[in-house]
Amino acid sequence: MTSKELALKCAGIASEKKGQNLTIIKIGDISNIADFFVIVSGTSSRQIQTIADEIETYYKTTEESPRIEGYKQANWIVIDMGDVVVHLFTPDLRYHFDLEALWQNAPRIKMSGETIKEEETPELIWTKKRRL
């Protein structure tokens, strides 16, 4: 499985569990931290933990156990699978840390409902976000 396929699978799992504002950022072109970040908001700590559990369960069937941070507090859970890092946030913390702005020059894939689509350019996303 490629890192892009894994990122899309993680986003799909989050979508199935009603994760919100799913975004996949391809940071591999500008950083060696990972190939992709998957960023998701949850409406409650329990929902965020449920999404983390499902992603961990899936990943364990294909690879070894991922590294997970923040599970107990569940306001920002990070699941590190090497080439793919999933960030699960409460809306307040997501807004506060604003990873999308930090990685604004990286290409991204935006998920709305069940649709995954390539966004036009990072600059356009940034402009749209700041207008809201």
The domain defined by 3-129 folds into Beta Polymerase; domain 2 (3.30.460)
Q: What's the CA gap between 104 and 100, in Å, rounded?
A: 6
Beta strands in the chain (DSSP E): 20-26, 36-41, 67-69, 76-80, 84-89, 108-112, 115-118
pTM of the model: 0.83
From first to last of its 132 residues, what are the pLDDT tens digits of the chain? 899 999 999 999 999 999 999 999 999 989 999 999 999 999 999 999 999 999 999 999 988 889 999 999 999 999 999 999 999 999 999 999 999 999 999 998 866 554 455 554 444 444 445 444
Q: What's the CA gap between 110 and 20, in Å, rounded?
A: 11
pLDDT, position 64:
83
